[in-house]
Structure 1
Amino acid sequence: MEGPFNQNQIEAFINEGFIKLENAFSSELAAEARAILWQELGCDPNDPATWTKPVIRLGMYAQEPFRKSANTEILISAFDQLVGAGKWFPQLSMGTFPVRFPSNEQPGDDGWHVDASFAGDDPGSFFDWRINVFSKGRGLLMLFLYSDVAENDAPTRIRIGSHLDIARILEPEGYRGLTFMDVASRLDSLPAREETLATGPAGTVYLCHPFLVHAAQAHRGTHPKFMAQPPLVLKDQLTIAGSDSGYSPVEQAIRIALAP
């Protein structure tokens, strides 16, 4: 399958659970998006005294800079390469923005977790949303960097290869899967994994397996961090057995995790 990644990169994605794509969208689009977000924040970008909270969450945004940044040619080809052509919905808006500010306070949302992808018995409760081994609803976890992110700028923490552990937890639970909190409660019992940080210049996107374990952290830098974390929404769910047409890298990772 044609796309921006070579075979070695695809194999690394399958085994490690993520791939870093620099210049996925332009720094100009990132700047236009940040300007919109600053208007929403109610803070002065030039006055750190107005940055009074460690994190402010902003909602969904569908203005042109966000739509364009999510639908560049290189990203579309990457989605096809990792998930499969025709299996995902185009991004019409950008997901929530947890804007992180330099602060000595703890953000309160920095626990290790896996993002859930479909509603449970109580759709109004985030903690009751679910995850199953077919990753119903979610093809990728994506981290869109709209500002430069260095090691002190609250980069997302990633447990390398942890998606394989999560697949093994989910497999016995079948189609119903587990809730967000069920999965979170089991993370301490998983094998130790090397950690890395999602750093890079504005315009970088981390394309991650939907089962990847990750976490936020406190901001110890000097400039606010702007990152969106939308899902790549599947039209259905992943196929992990019985395919006549082969398996995408996202599906291959799950198959490898579940192999005897």
Structure 2
Amino acid sequence: MARQLQVLSEADAQHFIEKGYVRVKGCVDPALAKKWTDEAYGRLGYDPVDRSTWTKDIVWMDRHNKAAIKDISPRGWAALCDVTGGEDRIEHKIMEIESQHFTTIDSTEWSDAFVVNFKRGADKPWDAPSPASGGWHKDGSFFRHFLDSREQGLLTIVYWSDVVHKGGGTFVAPDSIKVVAEYLAAHPEGVDDGDAFGKLIDQCQEFEEITGEVGDFIILHPFMLHASSNNHSGNVRFMTNPPVVLKDPMNLNREKPADFSLIERATLHALGKERYDFRPTMPREERWSVIGHSTA
């Protein structure tokens, strides 16, 4: 049975299917954003008004504060459920991973594991997104990538500050979803070479800079190639990029089309198929440890 959308419009859903991302506004209380970002300066030992204390241009922080998404952002949680096909399709186990950024994954919570772009590349020319701008990648260092992988079920971005043009907004390549989907379909044995995905950017022609406001929540297809950008705005950019793990691998061969999630529909759209019977030819590899279960 098709699930009724809670937050997304039909136009939003179609945009996700065709372009691989959707923006949901008003998903973070500005007061909470200010509280957590103010605390981040203290955690770093930086003075928010004394730029001489900003010794690093960009910082990846682990979490300090955390909260269930449904508690601090019912709208954001409902949007996630719209895209995944329902809360029952989202993994509620908590995973520990090895990472230079966040060390745990809980798909049901948001935290202040900020990527803070103070002035990255401010002393260099600002380049619009293109293959030449560099740094393009697909997220997911903690698993072997298959067409139907659940481990990075969604790529998400939460803006905890306003992000203007040339202000460090994430670069994305919407047509990369087709390129990556076809590449993974051609490799049923899976892909464990992260650099392989970045090289696919040369086949892409659509590029966008994701600007936004405090509280913008951008939900992206897991195959979206993306990259950091330089911050020439003079403003500090706070964002988080919490991954969403699916409870099960994508099912691209469901009997009833109405049962496909928006993620699955977008993947089939990229492949130009109504359904696709994908079968991995190598064992799946998940490089994490289950350390608990969300109570959210």
Q: TM over 0.5, yes or no?
A: yes
Q: Do 2:69 and 2:108's aligned partners in 1 also have CA atoms closer than 8 Å? A: no
Alpha-carbon distance, 1:259 to partner: 2.8
CA offset at residue 19 of structure 1?
A: 0.6
Distance 2:54 2:266 in 1: 41
In the TM superposition, residue 70 of structure 1 has moved relative to its aligned partner by 7.7
Structure 1 letter corresponding to 2:170: T
Is the 8 Å Cα contact of residues 143 and 227 (structure 1) preserved in structure 2? yes
Aligned with residue 163 of structure 2, among 145, 149, 158: 149
Residues 70 and 77, structure 2, Cα contact 8 Å, conserved in 1: no
Shift of 1:236: 2.1
2:137 to 94, 98, 113: 113
Give the drift of 1:230.
Answer: 0.8
- Please point out which of 183, 187, 191 is paired with 2:201: 187
Partner of 2:36: 33
Question: 1:61, CA displacement in angstroms?
Answer: 3.6
Shift, 1:252, TM fit: 0.6
Match of 1:235 in 2: 247
Could you say which residue in structure 2 is the equivalent of 1:217?
Answer: 229
Task: State the one-letter code of the partner of 2:205.
Answer: A
The residue number in structure 2 matching 1:76 is 77
**Given that residues 135 and 210 in structure 1 are in contact (C-alpha distance below 8 angstroms), is that contact kept between their aligned partners in structure 2?**
no
1:1-260 map, 5 Å: 1-64=4-67, 67=68, 72-85=73-86, 86-89=88-91, 90-94=107-111, 96-103=113-120, 104-105=122-123, 111-116=135-140, 118-119=142-143, 130-174=144-188, 176-188=190-202, 190-193=203-206, 195-244=207-256, 246-259=259-272
Contact 1:24 1:204 (C-alpha < 8 Å) held by counterparts: yes
Q: Contact conserved, 1:158 with 1:214, CA < 8 A, in 2? A: yes
Alpha-carbon offset, residue 257 of structure 1: 1.8
Tell me by how many angstroms 1:139 deviates. Answer: 2.0
CA distance in 2, matches of 1:143, 1:34: 16
Give structure 2 stretches of 5+ with no counterpart: 92-106, 125-132, 274-296
Q: How far 1:75 sits from its partner (Å)?
A: 1.4
Secondary structure of 1:139's aligned partner = coil
CA change 1:254–1:10 in 2 (3 A) is same
Distance (Å, rounded) in 2 between the aligned partners of 1:30 and 1:143: 14
Tell me by how many angstroms 1:110 deviates. Answer: 5.7
Structure 1 residue 24: deviation in Å? Answer: 1.1
Give the aligned residue type for 1:161.
D
Q: Provide the aligned C-alpha RMSD in A.
A: 2.3
8 A Cα contact 1:54 1:219, kept in partner? no
Q: Cα offset for 1:158?
A: 1.3
Amino acid at match of 2:11: N
Distance in structure 2 (CA, Å) of the matches to 1:192 and 1:238: 27
Aligned residues: 244
Once residues 155 and 141 of structure 2 are traced to their aligned partners in structure 1, the CA distance between those partners, rounded to angstroms, is 10
User: What amino acid is aligned across from residue 246 of structure 2 in structure 1?
Assistant: L
CA distance, structure 1, for counterparts of residue 108 and residue 49 of structure 2: 32
In structure 2, the CA distance between the partners of 1:28 and 1:69, relative to structure 1 (3 Å rule), is farther
**Structure 2 counterpart of 1:101, one-letter code:** F
* Distance in 2 of aligned mates of 1:223 and 1:70: 29
Q: Is the 8 A contact 1:15 1:253 kept in 2?
A: yes
Distance 1:41 1:222, change over 3 A: same
Specify the SS of the correspondent of 1:143: strand
Paired residue secondary structure (1:214): strand
- Judge conservation of contact 2:158–2:241 (CA < 8 Å) in 1: yes
Contact 1:110/1:215 (CA < 8 Å) preserved in 2?
A: yes
CA separation of 1:165/1:204 partners in 2, compared to 1, >3 Å: closer, same or farther? Answer: same
Q: Could you tell me the TM-score, scaled by structure 1's length? A: 0.85
